[in-house]
């Protein structure tokens, strides 16, 4: 099966080795006999709501975010329609911020967002940096841990009723106060965790692939065959161990 991926702004939003996430998805798909076809989508490029099974938006600094923000905001209808139609999506750091209503800087300036996630981000005075450990429940009754690294000055404030990606066990998360990290809408996930995220969390890569495959086939999502993930599990243990050294939620 061919899995069609729309990678938005790869030339702008790749500050945190975000292409590593694409590499993991491609390899894990290939090991199950599937092909990941990646379509780079730049400023002004076409984005049809039904053209991709998975959308990916990486992270960037304020300058790069400002460069693509108006274009991304203009794609809001197409992105929301794609997710409503069952496409999976992963947005990391700056991409996560700009898939909300937008980002307000300390000077009062506002970068518009695509409006997929029910949140708004405001610039903080200090950066929140370090390893993070989350508890997630993407499937009912199945709690999993997610490890990553955060480095952001923005405080992302979820609307009442918005669903976070996970609960912060160690680290700062969205705003350093709420105890939540990331946001979820159907099969769309946004998070501050990078470094990149998927090499140390193979279960999340498979969760995204399963939903992308379901979109590609038009059938119900099914679990992928297990892979020998000893190295990936060791990478997770190291990252989770560093997060635990940080102590409790801050």
d(CA 90, CA 57): 6
Determine which one of 7, 152, 170, 194 is catalytic: 194
Question: Is it true that the peptide bond before 196 is cis, omega within 30 degrees of 0?
Answer: yes
Residue 204 structure tokens: 């999340």
Active-site pick, 52, 93, 170, 183: 93
Report DSSP letters for the chain, one per residue: -EEEEEEE-TTTS-TT-THHHHHHHHHHHHTTT-EEEEEEE-TT----TTS-SEEEE----HHHHHHHHHHHHHTHHHHHHHHHTT-EEEEETHHHHHTSSEEE-TTS-EEE----SSEEEEEEEEEEEEEEEEEEEEETTEEEEEEEEEEEEEEEEEPTTPBPSEEEEEB-TTTSSSSEE-EEETTEEEES-BSSSGGG-HHHHHHHHHHHHHHHHTS---PPPP---HHHHHHHHHHHHHHHHT-SB-
**Is 93 marked active-site?**
yes
Half-sphere exposure of 81 (CA within 13 A, CB side): 10
Q: Catalytic residue at 194?
A: yes
Active-site residues: which are they?
93, 194
């Amino acid at each position: 099966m061919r899995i069609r991926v729309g990678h938005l702004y790869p030339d702008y939003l790749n500050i945190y080795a975000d292409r590593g996430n694409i590499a993991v998805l491609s390899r894990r798909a290939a090991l199950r006999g599937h092909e990941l076809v990646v379509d780079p989508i730049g400023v002004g490029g076409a984005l049809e709501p039904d053209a991709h099974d998975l959308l990916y938006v990486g992270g960037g600094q304020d300058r790069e975010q400002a460069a693509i923000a108006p274009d991304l905001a203009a794609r809001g209808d197409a992105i929301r329609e794609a997710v409503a139609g069952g496409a999976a999506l992963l947005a990391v750091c700056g991409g996560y911020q700009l898939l909300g209503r937008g980002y307000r800087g300390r000077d009062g300036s506002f970068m518009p967002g695509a409006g997929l996630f029910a949140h708004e981000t405001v610039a903080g005075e200090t950066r929140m940096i370090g390893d993070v450990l989350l508890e997630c429940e993407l499937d009912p009754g199945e709690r999993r841990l997610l490890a990553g690294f955060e480095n952001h000055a923005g405080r992302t404030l979820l609307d009442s009723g918005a669903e976070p990606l996970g609960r912060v066990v160690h680290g700062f998360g969205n705003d350093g106060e709420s105890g939540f990290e990331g946001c979820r809408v159907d099969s769309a996930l946004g998070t501050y965790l990078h470094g990149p995220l998927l090499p140390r969390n193979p279960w999340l890569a498979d969760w995204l692939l399963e939903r992308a495959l379901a979109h590609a086939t038009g059938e119900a999502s099914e679990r992928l065959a297990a892979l020998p993930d000893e190295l990936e599990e060791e990478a997770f243990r190291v990252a989770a161990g560093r997060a635990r050294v940080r102590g409790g939620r801050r």
